[in-house]
A and B are shown apart, each in its own frame.
Chain A
Amino acid sequence: MSVSDLSGLNAERATPGARVREVHDSFHGDLLEVSMGPHHPSTHGVFRMIVTLDGETIVKLKPVFGYLHRNHEKLGETVTYLGSMPYTDRLDYLSSMTNNWAYALAVEKLAGQAVPERAEYVRVILAELTRLLNHTCLAGFLMQDCGCSGTPLMYAFREREYILDLFESLSGSRMMCNYQRFGGCRVDPSADWLAGAQKLTDRYGTFLDEFETLLTGNEIIMARTQGVGKLSPELAISAGVTGPMLRATGVNYDLRKVDAYGVYPRFDFRVPLGDHGDVYDRYMIRVLEMRESIKILQQALAGLPAGPIMDPKAKLRSFRPKAGEAYGRIEGPKGEIGFYLLSDGSPNPYRYRIRPPSFINLTVLEDMCLGHTVADAVIILGSVDIVLGEVDR
């Protein structure tokens, strides 16, 4: 295939910023196809990209999925509703608490299950801790992809361990929490645990200051990430991009505000927005979102009401929702995570579908990478924030 064929193929896809060089002489005519991954440290797991290069410029990029595919949705149809809860931990294994919440929310919609106020507050606390954890890790990974070897990632992982310690003492497991239930949460957080969460929240801002001093104004990082992997808001909306990636393009759409699920309307927080939609904006949005998460955590910990953690009428055993369907979604750290459930009145769901945010965010990977170099493709992929457990399901 010649270069002109390829550029014709990509013409309608190319973002305004992408430059695909048209070369017709015999010297530049050959294209090089490089298979990146699935065993490559920069692909964040077993992800593979088939990159076609003209010199060092990317003219075509096709992602290849499925190396971690275990047909999670089929598994969900063979077990009961509650039996799927531990499986949702394994989707995006960095943020099991929000996966649990999204699934619990969808089932509660399907079954008309109420949730006590205390449980709603605890869910918000855990979701915001998850957001801190995920965004801190992402910043570390992104810097690792940029070539800042080791230091920022280790700082990020140090903080992540403090949050995982809290998760472990509450749910018994660092990452596979399996904590939410339909109609509440599994265990009630103790006063000691809440004091620990308060302590972490109080000092997280100091860590962020330190982290930002190291990274945000750094000249090399700015030169490396600004103007790279630009995404236009129109394409982002059409391609179903959600979460920090969508807001980095300047679209004000946060499900915590739009859907106002749980007790989020009670908290005062802002939605940070970017203006360029490049890699630097995606990094910056996440740092700003962490500051807002700290604000939400302070308010939620201060206002946590007493009361039951589980709805006493909630049915755990022989749980059979009425026939019907429901789609429930929440704002996960990576974007809109949703569950579509179809019940036929039996103990197992007839259809159990996950809307995976990082899989759908990858739709625009080719558009963002066209015209950039391979080294840029690595940081563009890093800024999308994928976890292969969720992409491949």
Chain B
Amino acid sequence: MESPEQIRDRLLARFPGAEISVVTNPGLAAQHSLLLGAAHARAIAEFLRDDPTLRLDQCSNVTGIDWPEKEIVETTNISTPDPANPAAPPTAVEQKTKRLQPGFLEVVYHLYSITHRHGPVIFRLRTGNRTDQATVPSLTPVWRSCEFQEREVFDLFGVTFVGHPDLRRILMWDEFKDHPMRRDYVEPDDYEWEPTPHGAVLEKTKAHYPTPPAPASVAPVKAAAP
């Protein structure tokens, strides 16, 4: 089978201007992958499926990966000579610069060819960010096997697949708000919360209702004079 670099070169010749790069896998498995831009993803997927030498007719596995934004601290040593005493050794100042690497969500597709019995060819799509641009094009029209798996990535990671015929939550219930597979997901303290008036539950109740309702003022009942 062709190497990812050869596939990239052929794709670039076929789709000029498409964003395609090879992501090297540093691990021992050496399963390298292609990173595709969203604009040509659908056309490239159809090409990979229909190309006679590749014939990647089975999309075996679709999965998401969450890469939250990361603070990268870079340390640089700046040595400045003392202007008053040039003979003295320069004072070394350690300068730390903080850089925020933006987060994104990634969808990974594993393709195999049943016709030619080769694979895997792995490619990835990336979203713009993790909030308002968390969209990638859906490949369900190309491979039916993506239907449930893309729904699962939508449900658990919050990636919206543009062009999916039936994009609903699949494993979590419809009313569920968050995306549990994200790295920064915080689970609710209690799914079936119900107030009871004592102990640790009472403390939790206070957290749910920061200002408890004032007790209704009831006039004391006086015992009737005999």
Contact = CB atoms under 8 A, between A and B. Distances in A.
Contacts of B117: 253, 258
B27 interface: yes
How many residues of B sit at the interface, in one of the four size bands?
A: 20 to 34
A195 interface: no
B214 to A, nearest CB: 41
Nearest to B117: A258
Interface string B19-44: 00000011111010000000000000
B61 A110 contact: no
A258 B116 CA distance: 10
B57 A237 contact: yes
Contact of A359 (B57, B63, B110, B148): B148
A342 interface: yes
Given A66-B171, A66-B173, A363-B148, A336 B28 contact: no
A324 B114 CA distance: 26
A256 interface: no
B172 interface: yes
B149 A326 contact: no
Contacts of A235: 144
A327 B110 contact: yes
B31 A326 contact: yes
B137 interface: no
Interface in B144-177: 144-145, 147-149, 156, 170-173
B7 interface: no
A353 B173 contact: no
B156 to A, nearest CB: 8
Chain A interface residue bracket vs B: 35 or more
At the interface, is chain B mostly helix, strand, loop or mixed? Answer: loop
A362 B171 CA distance: 14
B67 to A, nearest CB: 9
Of B148, B156, B172, B173, most A-chain CB atoms within 10 Å:
B148
B180 interface: yes
B128 interface: no
B3 to A, nearest CB: 17
A240 B144 contact: yes
A340 B109 CA distance: 11
Contact of B65 (A251, A326, A342, A362): A342
Given A66-B170, A66-B172, A353-B63, A360 B148 contact: yes
A73 interface: yes
A343 B148 CA distance: 26
Contact of B180 (A74, A112, A242): A74
Nearest to A328: B29
A149 B145 CA distance: 34
B114 A251 contact: yes
Nearest to A73: B181
A239 B141 CA distance: 11
B122 interface: yes
Interface in A156-174: none
Interface in A341-391: 342-343, 350-351, 353, 355, 359-360, 362-364
A320 interface: no
Contacts of B29: 109-110, 324-327
Contacts of B59: 240
A266 interface: no
A342 B180 CA distance: 18
A42 B117 CA distance: 36
A329 interface: yes
Interface string A230-241: 000001011111
A69 B172 contact: yes
21 contacts: A65-B170, A69-B171, A69-B172, A71-B156, A110-B28, A111-B28, A239-B144, A239-B145, A242-B60, A258-B117, A324-B26, A325-B25, A325-B31, A326-B28, A338-B61, A340-B110, A353-B63, A355-B61, A355-B110, A359-B148, A360-B145
Given A238-B143, A338-B60, 8 more contacts: A71-B156, A71-B180, A238-B57, A253-B117, A326-B27, A329-B60, A351-B65, A353-B63
Closest 10 A/B residue pairs (Cβ): A324-B27, A240-B145, A326-B29, A112-B28, A239-B144, A66-B171, A353-B63, A69-B171, A355-B61, A109-B29
